Structure 1
Amino acid sequence: MANEVDRSHFVRVVTLLGLCSILILMLVYLPIPFIPIWQSEFHVTMNVADWTSSAYGFAYAIGNIFWGTLSDSVRRVRVLYIGLFMLAVMTGLVAMSPSLALLIVFRVLEGAVAASFPAVAIAYIGDVLAPRYRAIATSVVSCGFLLASICGQIYGNLMTTGRGWHAAFLWLAVAYALLGAGAAFLLPKGTRPPTQVSIGSTYMRTFRLFRQIPLTLAWVATVPVLLSFIGMYSGLDALLSASYRSDTSQLVEIQLLGAPGILLSLVAGYFIRRYGGKWVFMGGLLIACFGVVMEAASHPMGLLTFASVVFVFGLSSAVPGIITLVGQLGHEARGSATAVYAFFTFIGASLGPLLETSVVASFGVRVFFLVLAGLLLLNVLLTGLGIRYPSSNRVESVKLHAQARREA
């Protein structure tokens, strides 16, 4: 009976949170095809129109700290469904924006509310799922984060030639409302009672987490992950335009071919259970490093595409590893630790295009790919030498693996 309940919880959690991870994170990438439209419609420069993404990103990064830490004081499932309902409202307001100024304001609010999902969802998985299901559920959600980069741009491009940007955000608002209802009625509530510590004390505890050197190093190690992911696709777009005379549709095709690499990374859940998050993270980074070096050396389009798939597979496999590691090092403050992880991750995502622009302008795209490879390799060394499992975490990992094998 207990196994049936565990499986039922797993199916509901993975289905709902997997959909949420794709649809919510799409908001990060959705404006990319709309920015030229907003520039023309509102008669502004490209730099001004770019604030629709920059302002969202800043609010999203800060919001992760707020919501993730708050979830250590209240039930996480409540944060999830209330956040989804609020996101539906904010996204609807974005869809109805009559001016760029209001559009930017509503995008800020949208980003602040959208941040209620990533860190809280990862911590929630640890609350409600049996140990043998946690790694695979984390892998599914983290895959959704990366698939969103592809789905968001494809959805945006389709809507630009279809019903327009207003409808694009309006349809997403409806989806968030439906997902909020599903989360409220279908997600298990969990057995973890809200802590008796005040919210103010919870936030102070979050800042004190920076005293833990291994956890702080794990947070720093997350910066190059999305930096490399977004930076690689930015560099690939520049390379296709300059050397292969390809348009944006060619990049979308390569991104679609990278999707199977993201899905294949679901096997990371098995390896996390067997070897731990740290080693899966390091292994994934090494695969990604090999892939981006291949991109730097590849000239035929087929080999370049294959190299990008290798890179995406490696990086996608690394993400659930570092999420698991951060959760373990955070102990009872898992929500706060994951929230700071999300903050550092999004800082890296914001730096990716900036680094790509500066390096490519001076040295070219292929040198930029080698720079990414160097960052990933340094990250492997930082993780391997600087982050040590506390003995309790190692014992816990062995126990969970043994329990999972008995239950399987």
Structure 2
Amino acid sequence: MSPAVVAVALALLMGLQPVTTDLYLPALPRLTRAFEASTAQSQLTMSALILAFGMGQLFWGPVADRFGRRPVLLLSLSLYTAASLGATLAPALAWLVLWRTVQGAALAAAVVCARAMVRDLYEPSEGAHVMSKGMSGLGLIAIASPMLGGTLAATLGWRAPLGAVAAIGAIALLFVARQLPESLAHRNPQALRLKPLAAAVREVLGHRTFRAWSALVACTYGGLFAILALSSFVYIEVLGLTPGQYGVALASGSVAYLLGTFFCRRWLLRHGLDGAVRRGAGFSLAGGLSMAGLALAGVQEVWAVLLPQWLYAFGHGIHQPCGQAGAVGPFPRMAGVASALNGFVLASTAFVVGLWVGHAMDGTTRPLGLVLGVFGIATATVGWTLVQRHGVPARARTA
């Protein structure tokens, strides 16, 4: 498989995650009013998706190890596109939550297969470099998604962004069908048998390197998910931005994330996995603490949310490719299982955050600031301790 095809595949498959979350966010307040729902009720459209996304990875990981990445992708992307169309046409909030749940379960397969594909083809250090390229592509998609969603919501109504998600899902399906070959050289016939599967799960969960990287990914994504879940209400209802302006604000955070992936590649070459994360942790901490401090001080201004968001997103652009490649690195023959468990930890953290933030909005920026502060501290702590001790073998460490 050519490097160009791998890079495009990673960007497109993993880019479905911000497409699924970011593109509809500018429409979320209007959707809430259209269904006469509370903020907590409308947040179920995000929380249910994330829960299904996490649980689905536990299923799709072993299936992808047994049958290969390509057939799983073809099936799941077909399901994703159909569920996206169902969400677009949903007549009630309960139906929208149901279709978003199916969307999340199908999305899980795309992300699991993308991460496992990197381990199929590359060793961990090279895999992190390739992953960062894919994450750069994801960053471009993440930049475009909220701006497109804001424009569509403002001009065509809240259903239009959901329709765009369905169209993008169909494009991803077409790319896989026409361009993406199988990356798994040797399928594992034991992957779905209960006893070997349980043994594989125990081996992965018992590995200190897996736990270190999974903790990092969960902490950094927990803060990012708080931004995704609360930012539309904060920017639009608290700070007074229009859906289009909010789309630009959220997209600017994706620009910072994209810059983070560029610096990730440079720091990987100079300092290795642990060195890159050690530097990125400072940005995570600065972003979280600055937003929390400004919110507690009562500064209710756009810049007081936007600048910390940029800092945190920059750090996330370093941690995410390193963490996802590092978590599956020790498991060349169980990449699907390791990828699934890593994704489940990430999604479970986001689900808990989603449940909390749905009830936390108080008409100020404080809930978002406080939760980002907590995850900024947690990310930096993991990056400066667990990752440095267990993230890479001692012989691979660099300054």
Unaligned runs of 5+ in 2: none
Equivalent residue for 1:204, pick from 181, 198, 202: 198
The higher relative CO (CA closer than 8 Å, separation ≥ 6) is in 2
The equivalent of 1:258 in structure 2 is 253
The equivalent of 2:156 in structure 1 is 163
The equivalent of 1:3 in structure 2 is none
The equivalent of 2:45 in structure 1 is 52
For residues 20 and 84 of structure 2, what CA distance do their matches in structure 1 show?
A: 9
* Structure 1 stretch displaced more, 113-122 or 124-133: 124-133
CA contact (8 A) 1:87 1:110 kept: yes
The equivalent of 2:179 in structure 1 is 186
* SS, match of residue 190 in structure 1: coil
Question: Per-residue CA shift, 1:358-398, capped at 9, x if unaligned?
Answer: 8886994666554343223322244246525346xx56x99
Deviation at 1:129, TM superposition (A): 5.5
CA contact (8 A) 1:72 1:333 kept: yes
For residues 365 and 41 of structure 2, what CA distance do their matches in structure 1 show?
A: 28
Q: Could you say which structure has the larger radius of gyration?
A: 1
CA contact (8 A) 1:360 1:367 kept: no
- Which letter maps to 2:316? L
For residues 101 and 372 of structure 2, what CA distance do their matches in structure 1 show?
A: 32
Verify: 1:320 aligned to 2:351, yes or no. no
CA contact (8 A) 2:48 2:100 kept: yes
Verify: 1:341 aligned to 2:336, yes or no. no
Deviation at 1:44, TM superposition (A): 4.3
* SS, match of residue 312 in structure 2: helix
Determine what percentage of the aligned residue pairs are the same residue.
18
The equivalent of 1:308 in structure 2 is 309
Deviation at 1:241, TM superposition (A): 7.8
Residues paired across the two proteins, number? 388
* Structure 1 stretch displaced more, 374-383 or 131-140: 131-140
Task: Map 1:8-47; keep pairs closer than 5 Å.
Answer: 9-47=2-40
For residues 373 and 44 of structure 1, what CA distance do their matches in structure 2 show?
A: 31
The equivalent of 1:287 in structure 2 is 283
* Structure 1 stretch displaced more, 357-366 or 31-40: 357-366
From the superposition, tell whether residues 235 and 382 of structure 1 become closer, same or farther in structure 2 (CA, over 3 Å): farther
CA contact (8 A) 2:142 2:251 kept: no
From the superposition, tell whether residues 170 and 339 of structure 1 become closer, same or farther in structure 2 (CA, over 3 Å): same
Question: Per-residue CA shift, 1:337-378, capped at 9, x if unaligned?
Answer: 111111111223234456668888699466655434322332
- Which letter maps to 1:227? G
For residues 308 and 130 of structure 2, what CA distance do their matches in structure 1 show?
A: 27
Question: Per-residue CA shift, 1:282-316, capped at 9, x if unaligned?
Answer: 32122221333344566796687444323321221
Task: Map 1:111-130; keep pairs closer than 5 Å.
Answer: 111-128=104-121
For residues 234 and 106 of structure 1, what CA distance do their matches in structure 2 show?
A: 18
For residues 306 and 102 of structure 1, what CA distance do their matches in structure 2 show?
A: 37
Question: Per-residue CA shift, 1:93-115, capped at 9, x if unaligned?
Answer: 22233333333222221211111
TM-score relative to the length of structure 2: 0.81
For residues 65 and 313 of structure 1, what CA distance do their matches in structure 2 show?
A: 29
The equivalent of 1:220 in structure 2 is 215
CA contact (8 A) 1:281 1:317 kept: yes
Question: Per-residue CA shift, 1:41-85, capped at 9, x if unaligned?
Answer: 444444433322222221111011111222122211222233222
* SS, match of residue 109 in structure 2: coil
Deviation at 1:265, TM superposition (A): 2.3
From the superposition, tell whether residues 144 and 345 of structure 1 become closer, same or farther in structure 2 (CA, over 3 Å): farther
The equivalent of 1:379 in structure 2 is 382
From the superposition, tell whether residues 373 and 388 of structure 1 become closer, same or farther in structure 2 (CA, over 3 Å): closer
For residues 47 and 233 of structure 1, what CA distance do their matches in structure 2 show?
A: 14
The equivalent of 2:272 in structure 1 is 276
For residues 284 and 374 of structure 1, what CA distance do their matches in structure 2 show?
A: 12
* SS, match of residue 183 in structure 2: coil
Unaligned runs of 5+ in 1: 1-5, 399-408
* SS, match of residue 67 in structure 2: coil
- Which letter maps to 2:13? C
- Which letter maps to 1:56? L
For residues 285 and 90 of structure 2, what CA distance do their matches in structure 1 show?
A: 42
For residues 373 and 390 of structure 1, what CA distance do their matches in structure 2 show?
A: 26
Question: Per-residue CA shift, 1:9-51, capped at 9, x if unaligned?
Answer: 1111212331332234321234434444444444444443332
* SS, match of residue 189 in structure 1: coil
- Which letter maps to 2:344? F
CA contact (8 A) 2:119 2:329 kept: no
For residues 243 and 46 of structure 1, what CA distance do their matches in structure 2 show?
A: 13
The equivalent of 2:127 in structure 1 is 134
The equivalent of 1:402 in structure 2 is none
Q: Aligned-pair RMSD on alpha carbons? A: 3.6
TM-score relative to the length of structure 1: 0.79
- Which letter maps to 2:272? G
Question: Per-residue CA shift, 1:185-233, capped at 9, x if unaligned?
Answer: 2123236121232412453244212222332343233221111223356
